Amino acid sequence: MCIVTDSDDKYKGEIECLEHLESMHVEGIILCLSQETTDYSHLERIKKNHIPLVLFDRVAGSNFSSITINDESLAKQATLHLIDGGAKRIAFLGGPNQMRQTADRKHGYIEALHERGIAVRKELVKCDYISFNAGLSETLELLCLPEPPDAIIASHGLLAISSIQVVISKGLHVPEDVSIIGFMSDWGSGMSTPRMTFVKQNIKEIGTKAFRLLLDQINGDSQIQNLIVNARLEIRESTRKSII
């Protein structure tokens, strides 16, 4: 039997979900951390109680087995794609800075700018709470700058969809005025017009490997494994083609 719980992407909800699962004496847990989580004592308690635990997507240090994608290299590739399309003022919309996922994607973005000799502009980097409303307000702030961005990388689907809506609402065109790339699901990328260029995760492979790691732990394997699943950049209509 598989039990699914939802933390609503909140730390308190995450703790409540784990306590509920513990009370049900589950054999193991696969967990995506909330964006608010900075204290991992509840995970250490799970480990101390000998309940197998595997993290995916958002991870905590190296004390737990995990499955992630190649966040840093994909963010770098996405940024280089925007630069090759003529973008010079590329904004980055990320989640909370304490999330390793945000840090890795931001690092890839910065690496690409350095590689092409483009200065990192602090006013173009916004890392805060992940929500649709946050994406709206942050994109609006970016477009009101004296030198607004000509491209945006959004590290979450909610930020990507909200940013494209703001750009269009301001009478601008995507990708002619502002190119946009999102880290998001396949179905989510089709919700925008034009269709979003996006980093596509192999969700099936992530789920399969997470389950296999968990099953290995249930069967007595105590080795910590941190696996990386390769994702890829899907070029669609929200970014300009290479001019190089």
Handedness of CA 23, 24, 30, 31 (dihedral sign): negative
Location of structure tokens 């609402």: 169
d(CA 160, CA 60): 25
Task: Give the per-residue pLDDT at 55.
Answer: 97
Whether the CB-CB separation of 200 and 232 falls below 8 Å is answered with yes
Laid out side by side, the sheet with 29-31 consists of 29-31, 53-56, 65-69, 226-229
Q: Coil, helix or strand for 123?
A: helix
Beta-carbon contacts of 54 under 8 Å, excluding residues fewer than 6 positions away, are 28, 29, 30, 31, 64, 65, 66, 67, 210, 213, 214, 217
d(CA 177, CA 162): 16
Over residues 15-59, the pLDDT tens digits come to: 999 999 999 999 999 999 999 999 999 999 999 999 999 999 998
d(CA 75, CA 65): 23
User: Residue range 186-193: average pLDDT?
Assistant: 76
d(CA 203, CA 218): 22
Note the helical H segments in the chain.
11-23, 41-48, 71-84, 100-115, 132-143, 157-169, 186-189, 203-218
Q: What is the CA radius of gyration of the chain?
A: 19
Over residues 149-161, the pLDDT tens digits come to: 999 999 999 999 9
Task: Give the per-residue pLDDT at 161.
Answer: 95
197, containing H or E segment: strand 197-200
Over residues 205-240, the pLDDT tens digits come to: 999 999 999 999 999 999 999 999 999 999 999 999
State the pTM of this model. Answer: 0.94
Beta-carbon contacts of 8 under 8 Å, excluding residues fewer than 6 positions away, are none
Over residues 117-166, the pLDDT tens digits come to: 999 999 999 999 999 999 999 999 999 999 999 999 999 999 999 999 99
Task: Give the per-residue pLDDT at 244.
Answer: 60
Whether the CB-CB separation of 136 and 162 falls below 8 Å is answered with yes
